[in-house]
A and B are shown apart, each in its own frame.
Chain A
Amino acid sequence: NAGVTQTPKFRVLKTGQSMTLLCAQDMNHEYMYWYRQDPGMGLRLIHYSVGEGTTAKGEVPDGYNVSRLKKQNFLLGLESAAPSQTSVYFCASSFSTTGNWEQYFGPGTRLTVT
């Protein structure tokens, strides 16, 4: 099993450009998440999904959109990149169990917006 994979690993964008980050998991997890991690701050949830075809906003959703057309994939889109979106983006997934929700993370995407 590959677990959680993310593409691309690195990207540099210019302000105003758009891009899509792809997350894939092969563990048959129901829940998937997108986080961003900035220096000195904890991971912050951007959007999440509790199942195929459903998405919900997290703590910092502005400037991002997501889609979950297939259970194994969760896409994060930036329609018009801004320097404030320079960050490391992590995707994660978990089973939809009550109580404990251990999350499995992908390796991250380092995005720089100039």
Chain B
Amino acid sequence: RKEVEQDPGPFNVPEGATVAFNCTYSNSASQSFFWYRQDCRKEPKLLMSVYSSGNEDGRFTAQLNRASQYISLLIRDSKLSDSATYLCVVNMLTGGFKTIFGAGTRLFVKA
């Protein structure tokens, strides 16, 4: 089992739709969580950190469920510019530093 698993995708949605991504992690020692966005042939860039209480940034909402070991990202009112790959990232300290990236979920937003 992969340490961080994401929805395989791709997700194809019309503009204005709401789309949700899920990510599960296997190590309960995981400490911090992020969603990164990666455009085609570009580097990953931080979209938002994920806090235990949940957090929102405009159209984006991230949530963490430590008991079930999953995080989610909700995008409301999708824009064409949201088309990208979304990476779930988990940091942990288990005898040393470790960052695990999910394989990513590709999102296509269509007009």
Please list the residues of chain A having a beta carbon within 8 angstroms of any beta carbon in chain B: 31, 33, 35, 40-45, 48, 50, 56, 90, 99-108
Contact = CB atoms under 8 A, between A and B. Distances in A.
Contacts of B62: none
Contacts, number: 46
A40 B103 contact: yes
Given A42-B87, A106-B43, A107-B43, A101 B103 contact: no
Contacts of B32: 99-101
B43 A108 contact: yes
B101 interface: yes
A102 B34 contact: yes
B18 interface: no
B99 interface: yes
A40 B104 CA distance: 8
Contact of A42 (B31, B45, B101): B101
- Size class of the contact patch on chain B: 20 to 34
B31 A99 contact: yes
B49 A42 contact: no
Given A99-B31, A100-B49, A102-B34, A41 B43 contact: no
B43 A90 contact: yes
A101 B96 contact: no
Contacts of B31: 99
Nearest to A56: B96
Contacts of A33: 99
Contacts of B45: 105
A100 B50 CA distance: 10
A18 B68 CA distance: 46
